[in-house]
């Protein structure tokens, strides 16, 4: 691993076991290595460096070893302050976040990052683009260029945009107020073009404004070419950038928050519900925006008030709408209960650059929407994260718990399994060490999250019960099909 800032090759970093339980506390650690470490002196300015995601703050004046060679040579002990982030502790390999893309939760008032996973990775924003469309529109209103009552004409180009759309014919007129409701409640692509043409003179002109605002806000991983988010491989963003945009809207234009949390809107005799179903499912979630494309998966920026905190979450690349909502809920609940603390600030997250991942195959072709586990891999020690009526909920809980607790995972298999009770599903991890399963569960339980340690015998009993239930289910199915056949023939 290369620490680029100080040009050091770190072969191994061994931290005393107390790291897991002692957040923000001075402890001692030892470095063992196979390369010179003289350059490490550069770190003695009390500025945080980063070792594989673990922030390390060195105390000024601490003695440091250098010109040390050889294998597994113990250096002098050095006092440090560890600021835990939400990446892997060195030497620990966590399961991949299958089924979900980049994610982020932060405090909108302080910028404190509470959960982050690949937050700087390039992604297709889909209809989250309309957050920037709304922001540029709000600024045009504030500058006096337009007003909420101003009416724009629907062009042929706008009328021909594919759904989601309101469907007003070309030549019709709509107010800015109506167009804003349409893009933020119903995610209407045609109304996004109406705003773009009315404010920017053309889609290209409006996109220029969008990119200018992105640069001003420091959204270095974002580029916009249209106001609606329909697929264009050039139009990309990151969870970090979208978080910056969301919190900017919240603070600069609180008077327009009603557009982001309206439960519905009326169009003639139609009443169109807000596409953000999480607001209807969770009372403390109070708004923001959804997005979906085959190429991007299901995206969501959600705002919530939890235990006196104003939190914003960004979840990208979910394989289903239900999974997206449940995953966001899991991360917001965890962040709101005080379990997550960090010195990392939103603006300090680095965008990684590169091309956006196209996940059309998983989302719209193979439809791999749940991380199903393999019964053949059940064994050893493990944990159960609960039984749920929905496979989507079980999967979201599984992926969320792995993300927020992954520093305690060194190995293991994971997945969603059918419970013994019909139409119920269990989120489980297996093939863990006994100590790892105990540590993992103890951590979750301390923060009021369900976790049950599973022994090898528990897995054996589960597999036996599954086999019996499957056999009984097969018999019932055969009888049911036979009866249907008799009735059909009698007709």
- Cα–Cα separations (whole angstroms), residue 321 to 277, 297, 318: 9, 9, 7
357 falls within a domain: no
Residue 26 structural domain: 2-84
Residue 154 and residue 34 share a domain: no
**Confidence (pLDDT) at 476:** 55
- Cα–Cα separations (whole angstroms), residue 422 to 125, 291, 418, 472: 37, 33, 8, 12
- In angstroms and rounded to an integer, the radius of gyration of the C-alpha atoms of the chain is 26
Residue 169 and residue 42 share a domain: no
User: Alpha-carbon distance 281 to 265, whole Å?
Assistant: 18
Residue 240 and residue 295 share a domain: yes
Query: Token pair for residue 414?
Result: 């994971």
- Cα–Cα separations (whole angstroms), residue 316 to 127, 309, 484, 490: 12, 22, 45, 53
- φ/ψ of 43, rounded to 5, equals -80, -5
Which of 187, 335, 340, 405 is the catalytic position? 187
End-to-end CA distance of the chain: 73
Residue 161 and residue 271 share a domain: yes
485 falls within a domain: no
User: Alpha-carbon distance 254 to 384, whole Å?
Assistant: 42
Sequence-separated contacts (24+) of 9-17 with Cβ below 8 Å: 9/33, 9/35, 10/35, 10/51, 11/35, 12/72, 12/90, 12/91, 13/51, 13/52, 13/90, 13/91, 15/54, 15/82, 15/89, 15/90
Contacts of 180 (CB under 8 A, 6+ apart): 134, 137, 148, 195, 256, 259
- Spatial contact of 159 and 173, defined as CB atoms under 8 Å apart: no
| Cis amide prior to 33 (ω within 30 degrees) | no
- Spatial contact of 310 and 107, defined as CB atoms under 8 Å apart: yes
What CATH number did the domain enclosing 135 receive? 3.40.710.10
User: Alpha-carbon distance 29 to 10, whole Å?
Assistant: 14
Provide block-wise average pLDDT over 10 residues at a time, the chain (491 residues). Answer: 31 29 32 29 29 34 36 32 31 49 96 95 98 98 98 98 96 98 98 98 98 98 98 98 98 97 94 95 96 97 94 96 94 84 90 96 87 94 95 94 87 93 94 94 91 96 89 59 39 42
User: Alpha-carbon distance 199 to 439, whole Å?
Assistant: 56
**Confidence (pLDDT) at 366:** 84
Angle between helices 189-200 and 176-185 (to 10 degrees): 140
Q: Write down the residue that tokens 């491989």 correspond to.
A: 233
Residue 111 and residue 39 share a domain: no
169 falls within a domain: yes
Q: Which of 313, 348, 383 marks a domain boundary? A: 348
368 falls within a domain: no
364 falls within a domain: no
User: Alpha-carbon distance 354 to 360, whole Å?
Assistant: 18
- φ/ψ of 35, rounded to 5, equals -160, 160
User: Alpha-carbon distance 348 to 42, whole Å?
Assistant: 21
363 falls within a domain: no
- φ/ψ of 467, rounded to 5, equals -65, -40
130 is catalytic: yes
Residue 221 and residue 163 share a domain: yes
98 falls within a domain: no
- Spatial contact of 219 and 244, defined as CB atoms under 8 Å apart: yes
> Minimal CA–CA distance to 189: which of 214, 223, 212, 155?
155
Query: Token pair for residue 172?
Result: 């019709």
Give all strands (DSSP E) within 24-102, no chain letters. Answer: 26-33, 49-51, 54-58, 73-74, 78-84
Contacts of 183 (CB under 8 A, 6+ apart): 130, 133, 134, 191, 192, 195, 228
Residue 409 and residue 381 share a domain: yes
Contacts of 300 (CB under 8 A, 6+ apart): 276, 278, 288, 289, 290, 291, 313, 314, 315, 318, 324, 325, 328
Structural domains in the chain (count): 3
Residue 280 and residue 136 share a domain: yes
Residue 261 and residue 129 share a domain: yes
Q: Which of 84, 117, 137 marks a domain boundary? A: 84
- Spatial contact of 326 and 103, defined as CB atoms under 8 Å apart: no
389 is catalytic: no
- φ/ψ of 336, rounded to 5, equals -75, -20
- Spatial contact of 328 and 313, defined as CB atoms under 8 Å apart: yes
Residue 334 and residue 247 share a domain: yes
Record the pTM: 0.77
Residue 218 and residue 72 share a domain: no
What CATH number did the domain enclosing 465 receive? 3.30.70.1070
Which of 49, 127, 313, 328 is the catalytic position? 127
Contacts of 74 (CB under 8 A, 6+ apart): 30, 32
172 falls within a domain: yes
Residue 264 and residue 162 share a domain: yes
187 is catalytic: yes
Q: Is 293 helix (H, G, I), strand (E, B) or coil?
A: strand
Which of 87, 130, 309, 313 is the catalytic position? 130
> Minimal CA–CA distance to 31: which of 81, 66, 82?
66
Neighbour tally for 338: CB within 10 Å: 12
């Amino acid at each position: 691993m290369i620490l680029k800032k100080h040009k050091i090759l770190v072969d191994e970093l061994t931290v005393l076991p107390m790291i897991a339980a002692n957040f923000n506390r001075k402890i001692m650690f030892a470095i063992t290595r196979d390369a010179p470490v003289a350059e490490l002196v550069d770190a003695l300015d009390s500025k945080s460096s980063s070792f594989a995601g673990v922030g390390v703050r060195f105390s000024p004046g601490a003695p440091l070893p250098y010109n040390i060679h050889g294998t597994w040579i113990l250096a002098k002990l050095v006092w440090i302050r560890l600021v835990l982030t939400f990446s892997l502790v060195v030497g620990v390999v966590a399961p991949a976040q299958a089924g979900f893309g980049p994610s982020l939760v932060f405090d909108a008032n302080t910028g404190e990052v509470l959960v982050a996973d690949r937050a700087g990775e390039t992604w297709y924003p889909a209809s989250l683009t309309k957050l920037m469309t709304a922001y540029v529109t709000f600024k045009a209103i504030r500058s006096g260029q337009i007003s909420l009552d101003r009416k724009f004409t629907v062009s042929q180009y706008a009328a021909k945009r594919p759904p989601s759309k309101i469907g007003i014919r070309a030549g019709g007129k709509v107010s800015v107020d109506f167009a804003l409701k349409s893009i933020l409640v119903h995610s209407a692509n045609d109304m996004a073009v109406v705003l773009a043409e009315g404010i920017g003179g053309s889609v290209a002109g409006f996109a220029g404004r969008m990119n200018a605002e992105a640069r001003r806000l420091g959204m270095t991983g974002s580029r916009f070419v249209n106001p609606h988010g329909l697929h264009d491989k050039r139009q990309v963003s990151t969870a970090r950038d979208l978080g910056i945009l969301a919190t900017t809207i919240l603070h600069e234009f609180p008077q327009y928050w009603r557009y982001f949390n309206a439960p519905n809107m009326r169009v003639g005799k139609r009443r169109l519900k807000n596409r953000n179903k999480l607001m209807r499912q969770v009372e403390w979630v109070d708004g923001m925006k959804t997005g979906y494309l085959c190429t991007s998966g299901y995206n969501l920026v959600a705002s919530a008030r939890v235990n006196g905190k104003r939190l914003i979450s960004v979840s990208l690349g979910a394989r289903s709408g239900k999974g997206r909502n449940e995953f966001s809920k899991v991360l917001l609940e965890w962040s709101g209960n005080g379990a997550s603390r960090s010195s990392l600030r939103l603006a300090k997250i680095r965008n990684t650059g590169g091309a956006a991942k196209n996940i059309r195959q998983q989302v719209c072709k193979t439809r791999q929407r749940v991380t199903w586990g393999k019964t053949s891999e059940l064994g050893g020690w493990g944990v159960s994260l609960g039984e749920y009526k929905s496979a989507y909920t079980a999967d979201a809980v599984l992926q969320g718990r792995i993300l927020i607790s992954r520093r305690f995972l060194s190995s293991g298999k994971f997945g969603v399994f059918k419970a013994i009770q019909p139409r119920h599903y269990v989120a489980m991890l297996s093939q863990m060490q006994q100590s790892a399963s105990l540590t993992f569960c103890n951590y979750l339980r301390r923060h009021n999250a369900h976790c049950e340690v599973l022994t090898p015998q528990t897995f054996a009993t589960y597999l036996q019960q599954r086999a019996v239930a499957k056999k009984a289910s097969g018999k019932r199915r055969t009888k049911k099909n036979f009866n249907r056949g008799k009735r059909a023939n009698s007709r």
